[in-house]
A and B are shown apart, each in its own frame.
Chain A
């Protein structure tokens, strides 16, 4: 195993770039499927909207603003849910 570490510059010359690219694309595809598809099977649509919105925001406008956008969506969702519930609590003491 250590031999592979030290021999890697020589092996790298013969490795096709498409092989490395295919591996990285595979991991990226797996992560995207797990984050977007499998979570849609488990989460309700409003929470899945958080996931999807944050993914798109992170990819489009950078990681830090994307996480902030995700937090903003979660806060607004929680606020809406609480506001919805509080109406019922007011009307039915």
Chain B
């Protein structure tokens, strides 16, 4: 948890900034489109990084530039795919998917795409859950398994991370049912206020405990162990993640092993854009939604973001008044494509 953690967050910001700029400057036919880093590709990113790391060895100095290069390349590949889809005018293919595929050999339909989205959401949720369980381990981290998770040393960390998460989720879900807490749970500042309150509570407890200082807290896992800034022996600031990248240090021979993940990443991203964009168009009542323009805009955005060494980005939909944005199945079912399928005699 050193300079690389900040670099990851800055890479996310970078892709957000670039893609938001492209979409806002007319790249999408949906007015006021927001975009951020494509979160569905995070599991692929991790497996790419693991593959490279396994191949080169843990602390090979070329691991980081190679990983960054593969991330950027996947972003460019996604952008090129979008541009190809726009060039072949495949935007209207979204409307035809149920018919052609129902009469074809393959049994997929747009419901499958929704299911694929849901399953990706589920699997991404599970992998995020496991990631969240892995974070509080002190550095160097022992492997995550049932014995290390419930060991006596780690149990307070586990409780302190899991119980607030369950508390937040409970409040949000109760707020949807009970009107009394809805004003709290659907307030846009609910989550940030919770974070600040939790941090404040943490430091109050630490101060009351008395004999804990920063080093013991970091070694037992309560704080991030941040290595000193001159770990990389470069004078670049922490936010300048381009300094970590050296084109000459990219190991080309590990690239074929990562191609499978890159291809899957591109497929997932390319499939999810029509779903999200169409549902957003239905939600926001865009009169004539030109899918090709969205493909074009997202293509340019991803190519630029790859050129800037950042991760793939996609448009997200914001439900009014909520901080975390996600599409729910009722929104997808309102899509005219799915409704057309229901009207079919068979």
Contacts and interface: CB of A to CB of B under 8 A. Distances in A.
A12 interface: yes
B164 interface: yes
Interface of A: 5-6, 8-9, 12-36, 38-39, 42-43, 47, 50-52, 54-55, 58-59, 62-64, 66-67, 70-71, 74-75, 78-79, 82, 85
A67 B169 contact: no
B6 interface: yes
A14 B10 CA distance: 19
B340 interface: no
Interface residues of B, number: 71
Given A18-B161, A30-B169, A66 B123 contact: yes
A85 B345 CA distance: 13
B167 to A, nearest CB: 9
B237 to A, nearest CB: 8
Interface in B113-135: 115-116, 118-133, 135
Contact of A32 (B106, B126, B237, B260): B126
Contacts, number: 200
Contacts of B328: 34, 38
Contacts of A6: 237, 239
B172 interface: yes
Contacts of A51: 115, 118-119, 122
B23 to A, nearest CB: 19
22 contacts: A5-B13, A9-B229, A12-B6, A13-B214, A14-B199, A18-B157, A19-B202, A21-B165, A22-B160, A22-B165, A23-B165, A24-B132, A30-B125, A32-B126, A35-B122, A54-B119, A58-B119, A64-B261, A66-B123, A71-B112, A79-B107, A82-B107
Given A26-B165, A67-B116, A19 B199 contact: yes
Contacts of B237: 6
B136 A12 contact: no
Contacts of A43: 329
Given A5-B13, A19-B202, A58-B119, A28 B129 contact: yes
A1 B166 CA distance: 29
A42 to B, nearest CB: 5
B195 A55 contact: no
